[in-house]
Structure 1
Amino acid sequence: MLAAETNVDDPGIDDPGIVDGRGAADPARPADLSERLPALDALRGLALLGVLAINLEGEFRVSIFRQFLPGPPEAGLDRWIDAVLLTFVDMKAFALFPLLFGVGLAIQVERGAGRPRRTVLLLRRLLVLLGFGLVHLVLIWNGDILTAYAVAGLAVLPLLFGPTWLMGAACAACLAVFALQSLLPPLLPPIVAFPDRAWLVRQVADADRVYATGGFFEILDFRIREIAGFLPLHAFVLPRTLGLFLLGALAWRAGLVRRAARFAAGLWGFAALAAGTGVVLTLATAARSYSGWPSLGRFEAVGASVGTILLALGYAAAILAAGTTRTGRRGLAWAEPVGRMAFTNYIVQSLVLGVVFYGYGLGLFGRLGLTAGLGIVLALYAVQVVGSRLWLRRFRHGPLEWLWRVLAYGRALPLRRA
């Protein structure tokens, strides 16, 4: 998930390059902390809260495949929490990270123009991220998104060296495929077939047993065997991931990020329009789900997909615009440290939730309601906000952000602040 701290050394997850005496980034040296983009750090920190809530609600608390089976609706306060998450958070938070990742990739490509060593470094960073993702996927949690981001980053990288019109065309094509793919199955065979109902029933029952009561190695074995079932889900969101990578890169090229103050009025206007339209589309889907009204079938899925993207873009534009004002910067400052350490915090969330829900820990899998789960989300996130601030007072980067840089550069780098 994780784009990065938005500086030049990481695809969305690190910092801008050190500038030499001629005003050019030195590709051989890692960056300092002088060129941060605080609004993006804050946006990443806020998105991390949404990701934590959705991961707990639908992937740690119960099997991710339960959502595809009929079941009794949530009741009481859980029902309201579910509705709010579905409307304002679900998939929207996940859509923000590809945007940020795309911005980071574009920064690095731009500053490394004409410097082959910088391009090699970027490739190494993506390959190291892939390694981190595979470890996370297998040993900790198979809902990992780092692996998908690394692969998607490698896929879009050639486009980032091309003309803007080509990036724009590819971006539009990817987002159109994502929005319209629910209409395509009658016309095209699926890339990866979705499991049938019998498989889903069996998988959910096995997950309820293994995750709640199994030891570490039993869960590890089950997690590895379950990975194949995730492929259709990854195939479904891949066009969105690619499209949002490119959209983030286009936003950087257009100057919307680095010169946000110049475009503040337009950003506010776009935020209102995109978020308003997105809320209407997602509310329509949620209302149908909770009211029992007749489904619009495949067109309902199109509306939900478009609404997800628009609402995420509205959030991003609003945070960028807010970051251009003194009041906005002060209001967002608390989220910056947790956003700067997004990679570390993401992995820590997986470790903590594994201990809470899996059998080798508290074994609460399948036993916790949404209200109690939200309490865990807020408590864990609050600890991360405070912990990130305290850590960054003494250190330049989060521990995993630092390790990522060390592995990419292939040499020791300073961690403590001077």
Structure 2
Amino acid sequence: MNPLSKLSPASGINVVQPGTTWSEVARPVSQAERIQTVDILRGVALLGILLMNIPYFSMAEYFSEVFRSDPSNINFWVNAGITILFEGKMRALFSMIFGVGIILFMARKEKTEPGQARQSATGLFYRRMGWLVLFGLIDSHVLLWMGDILYYYGIIGMIAFWFRKMKPTYLALGVPLVAIIGFVSSTLFYQNVRDKRLAYLAVQTVSKQGQKLTAIQEQTVKDWQEAQKQFFPNKAEVAEHTRMMKSSNYFTVAKRYRKDVWEQQTIYLVFSLWDPLALMLLGMALYKSGFFTGQWPRRRYWQTMLIGYGLGLPLVTYSFYYGYTNIPNAAAFMVYFEKHPILWIDLIYPFQRILLVMAHASLLILLIQSGRIQELLNRLSAVGQMAFTNYVMHTLICTFVFYGYGLNQYAGWQFYQLYYLVAAIWVLQLIVSPIWLKYYHFGPLEWAWRSLTYWQRQPMRRAVSLPDYQPALTRNE
């Protein structure tokens, strides 16, 4: 029997019968209602994100300068592989699945009797996102992870919520629209900084001729120096930041991050919203079309995968090679920066990222439908079901290993060595997550989040432990 036959084609979850009361649906999704494909994709994205995050836990700023232009260095090739196959794609997949989660959270609750119940569902969702914002603030300002996404997802989720009922075509338009706006805005920003650089060079020419600088020219020098300090390497500042990160004093490490993180979360927040929002909306569109529930014909998944890899891999490989040959380090970028008013190469990024994330997702769905490596897929499903807990576990493990108040390994490892730890964390979470879910309904943070959302303590321990953790919905049969 095809397990998807139990599902509503529109929503992908169990149909709620007319007359169902609010109290019957105002609860977390049960194990029997979970969609394994969504959990597996979330698990893969969660583990994949660590590939990109771990250097920012562990490496000094501008860490890639020493190997980015050296193909004889193993770090060059490790970085190349991660950049080509995973950079941006795992975050994109995670954002898309978060968008799916918004629909899944609301679907059952909105099928109850109209009126007060639907208003309560909206309030419930906003309470859920509000707690996520708070958890994000704790992750970034208490646990000191500068790359936290929970805060942003909570805020962006509140915005994405209002688009959830749009037609898939309109939802998907957000990605190209944001890509175009993003390229235009980043180009204007780039040109603004470049103009400061060119004006500074003109003033330097005047200064070398022995002429006294005017007040306007002196301000031009100050403007460039400020921009240079903010956007280009400063060896003394990098050394000071590294010293702070290696301090055994928690508050010294916190001082290194908190101001910058808070500015990103407030002053620059508006610039961080649009890309994840567009990806969440794309996730909603793909879910409504049946992509994430395995309802597309197998031939269509194959086509999506082959087109995605066939176009995406050459594009991203060319982009990486172009960067290697033209902008291998900060000094080369400065020269390039002065000669090129527009970074046309940046147009490749949004195209190759979507092509490859769709190819990755299609490959995973085909594997799920094939019934192969089922044991691994079940473990990935468990990791995805506990994504919140596992994400924060990444923070706890990496800050303990690398920060000065832990094992103080910051700036002490080769780039490639970081991925031994990544592999160890993956193995740990693939082993522990299914064992935990054998005895408990939720991961510990998932349990806390749900209890706070529903404002009621949720049952945690299973009345009878499962003989082996098995997701409720497996492959199509």
Change (3 A) 1:90 1:246: same
Q: Are 1:402 and 2:447 counterparts?
A: yes
Give the alignment of 1:266-277 within 5 angstroms. Answer: 266-277=300-311
Shift of 1:20: 6.4
- What is the rounded CA distance, in whole Å, between the counterparts of 1:376 and 1:249 in structure 2? 34
Indicate if the aligned counterparts of 2:388 and 2:446 stay in contact, CA closer than 8 A. Answer: yes
- What is the rounded CA distance, in whole Å, between the counterparts of 1:138 and 1:16 in structure 2? 37
Shift of 1:280: 1.3
Change (3 A) 1:345 1:359: same
> Per-residue CA shift, 1:143-188, capped at 9, x if unaligned?
1011111111112221224455543444442243345544444789
Change (3 A) 1:32 1:104: same
Q: Are 1:196 and 2:227 counterparts?
A: yes
Match of 2:461 in 1: 416
Indicate if the aligned counterparts of 1:338 and 1:345 stay in contact, CA closer than 8 A. Answer: yes
RMSD: 3.1
Q: Are 1:159 and 2:193 counterparts?
A: no
Structure 1 residue runs without a partner (length 5+):
1-14
Match of 1:96 in 2: 93
TM-score of the superposition, structure 2-length normalised?
0.75
- What is the rounded CA distance, in whole Å, between the counterparts of 2:363 and 2:20 in structure 1? 31
- The partner residue of 2:395 within 328, 338, 350 is 350
Shift of 1:317: 2.3
- What is the rounded CA distance, in whole Å, between the counterparts of 2:105 and 2:29 in structure 1? 12
- What is the rounded CA distance, in whole Å, between the counterparts of 2:159 and 2:237 in structure 1? 32
Q: Secondary structure, in 3 states, of the residue corresponding to 1:327?
A: coil
Letter of the structure 2 residue corresponding to residue 363 of structure 1: N
- What is the rounded CA distance, in whole Å, between the counterparts of 2:49 and 2:179 in structure 1? 21
Match of 1:306 in 2: 351
Match of 1:12 in 2: none
Q: Secondary structure, in 3 states, of the residue corresponding to 1:143?
A: coil
Letter of the structure 1 residue corresponding to residue 297 of structure 2: F
Change (3 A) 1:361 1:204: same
- The partner residue of 2:27 within 23, 26, 29 is 29
Q: Secondary structure, in 3 states, of the residue corresponding to 2:62?
A: helix
TM-score of the superposition, structure 1-length normalised?
0.85
Indicate if the aligned counterparts of 1:182 and 1:302 stay in contact, CA closer than 8 A. Answer: no
Letter of the structure 2 residue corresponding to residue 198 of structure 1: K
Match of 2:197 in 1: none
- The partner residue of 2:249 within 202, 209, 215 is 215
Match of 1:78 in 2: 75
Indicate if the aligned counterparts of 1:182 and 1:301 stay in contact, CA closer than 8 A. Answer: no
Shift of 1:50: 1.7
Match of 2:49 in 1: 51
Q: Secondary structure, in 3 states, of the residue corresponding to 2:411?
A: coil
- What is the rounded CA distance, in whole Å, between the counterparts of 1:186 and 1:366 in structure 2? 30
Letter of the structure 2 residue corresponding to residue 358 of structure 1: Y
Shift of 1:239: 2.2
Indicate if the aligned counterparts of 2:15 and 2:108 stay in contact, CA closer than 8 A. Answer: no
Give the alignment of 1:240-251 within 5 angstroms. Answer: 240-251=275-286
Q: Secondary structure, in 3 states, of the residue corresponding to 1:332?
A: helix
> Per-residue CA shift, 1:114-165, capped at 9, x if unaligned?
4222221111111111110011110111210111111111122212244555
Change (3 A) 1:102 1:144: same
Give the alignment of 1:231-380 within 5 angstroms. Answer: 238-258=273-293, 260-292=294-326, 298-327=343-372, 329=374, 332-380=377-425
Q: Are 1:87 and 2:118 counterparts?
A: no
- What is the rounded CA distance, in whole Å, between the counterparts of 2:21 and 2:137 in structure 1? 35
- What is the rounded CA distance, in whole Å, between the counterparts of 1:50 and 1:348 in structure 2? 14
- What is the rounded CA distance, in whole Å, between the counterparts of 2:25 and 2:178 in structure 1? 31
- What is the rounded CA distance, in whole Å, between the counterparts of 1:253 and 1:118 in structure 2? 20
Shift of 1:266: 0.8
- Percent identity between matched residues is 26
Match of 1:135 in 2: 138
- The partner residue of 1:41 within 21, 39, 42 is 39
> Per-residue CA shift, 1:239-296, capped at 9, x if unaligned?
22111100011112222223x2443221221122123322111111222233458978
Q: Over alpha carbons, which structure has the higher Rg?
A: 2
Indicate if the aligned counterparts of 1:251 and 1:257 stay in contact, CA closer than 8 A. Answer: yes
- What is the rounded CA distance, in whole Å, between the counterparts of 2:168 and 2:175 in structure 1? 10
- Give the number of aligned pairs: 398
Q: Are 1:145 and 2:149 counterparts?
A: yes
Shift of 1:66: 2.1
Indicate if the aligned counterparts of 1:52 and 1:377 stay in contact, CA closer than 8 A. Answer: yes
